Chain A
């Protein structure tokens, strides 16, 4: 037992040839966010607070696809979404279609705590944000040059309809959107458990590059992108449509609950046996303080730490241990 934390900055087709100048800032960001989370757990903050803090941090980092640095819709705009879940109470909150809210995950938490609802979206969510006085900025704040470029490439590569089976363009000297309009950087998320087995999960994203305006993915859908109960907490990333139909986050918990699988077994089963290759990654912690971070994509930006001193920051399958 003991506390544990895991976080991700997205699963996808992260090329092994990712140059150092693109890799290192992300690794550094993961390290920074992990540190924040670990300090929070050491200070005995509730896991719900810890996951919110970590995801806020990830949202603020422009290299990840959430908050600032969110990928763009087909119209070049930003529409952000997030959800958060408290495993002890099973309370949850979610938001979609945000255009000015600096930290979507915090608004999701406010929906959970300050309204009789679970999920608010678009104009209604923005209105609620103003009522709550959360930090908002003009939507241009969230748009980065990198994402404008990604959108351009995605639009050029598109046929009339986004085709998920298109092969990857070889023109990947940049880490850019692949031909099917997907971003290689899926989402951010964090799961945490304290020494008493309290669990929480939070996920946040800008969605898919070149997505239709109004498209909602798995991230705000409880049971798909985010889930926490008294057994485990899960945050998923990858192709939203696959995560939704696979109810991925809940499936990990259900396998533990109904088939008695361990966290590792359940997470591995969902990612490697129950979802198509190249679509999903997740981070999960159990009430016992275990961690699992499986993915069936080329890579997943991830980090974790447990109370016994283990920590890891990695991108591709071979784990790389850091201090």
Chain B
């Protein structure tokens, strides 16, 4: 192949009963984001600029779980996190615990470009945001009535996560029986908010980049950090590929999922699709997750081991696809 390519996602794990109009909205948003990215790539924008641009759009739209529309902490507040990585020199930037920054991915980029560090969080990150003069708003801006409702349901579902390795005695029952409905991260799928948005791009020069952004897990403890801001877990980009993951954060962290795609390409000589398939199959144990990836040779691929993933991809030769289900 060769030429530019991009992919976007709006989260892995989707309620099979998601109403058709919501599915349609999601597809439209994904399409809009792809078009934004395609436009930029046609104007010779670099991969790192395109991933930021696309994820900003996803953050600003309240539909998915990032920026506005983020899932809520157990306290009913929003704490956002994001990371971005530039494959050409493997520079990276990440942020966690943001409460007022309108576009977390842009702050992550500033951490990468304008600070001596790779990762800033909570008060320190908010302070940096003000020093950099990024747009800040009240925490309420990010909270949608829909998510307020979801939080209530999540609390009612008594969501203490099952850990297969820990005996359940002493833990409250999750209220689901042996024939439990679809679950992710211990939440019934109907209240589990697909966790994350992301974008991966390879530009005309073969440079790869990746970006991921999220509000995190519905009903999470304040201070909880997931996979999205962790380089190697939720986001990774190097000379051969760019990867963004979504799904059960714990599984993605343990499996160092994003990094694995690059590792098997490099160390086992797998192609991008082979690498994606391998990682989804072998690095997830019982965990549920998905990912999108591009290679420096212009390939694009995605994979997931759960029931669905909001995604879209496009390549320079005119291919374009948006999907949800398997």
Contact = CB atoms under 8 A, between A and B. Distances in A.
14 contacts: A89-B165, A119-B230, A121-B223, A122-B123, A213-B123, A213-B127, A217-B117, A217-B119, A221-B119, A221-B231, A223-B256, A247-B256, A250-B232, A254-B259
Contacts of B249: 117-118
Interface in B217-269: 217, 220-226, 230-233, 236, 249-250, 253-256, 259-260, 263-264, 267-268
Interface in A233-252: 240-241, 244-247, 250-251
Contacts, number: 162
Contacts of B163: 116
Interface in B153-205: 160-161, 163, 165-166, 185-186
Q: Which 6 A-B pairs have the closest CB atoms?
A: A124-B223, A214-B124, A116-B161, A258-B267, A213-B124, A223-B256
A274 to B, nearest CB: 10
Contact of B260 (A92, A94, A224, A254): A254
Contact of B119 (A92, A213, A216): A216
Given A223-B233, A247-B256, A247-B259, A119 B226 contact: yes
Contacts of A247: 231-232, 236, 256, 259
Interface of A: 89-92, 94, 96-97, 113, 115-125, 127-128, 161-164, 181, 211-217, 221-224, 227, 240-241, 244-247, 250-251, 254-255, 258-259
Interface of B: 85, 90-92, 94, 96-97, 115-125, 127-128, 160-161, 163, 165-166, 185-186, 217, 220-226, 230-233, 236, 249-250, 253-256, 259-260, 263-264, 267-268, 285
Given A214-B127, A254-B260, A91 B231 contact: no
B190 to A, nearest CB: 19
A254 B120 contact: no
B306 to A, nearest CB: 18
A250 B283 CA distance: 13
A122 B232 contact: no
A213 B91 CA distance: 21
Given A113-B166, A254-B260, A244 B116 contact: no
A312 to B, nearest CB: 30
B122 A214 contact: yes
Contacts of A94: 225
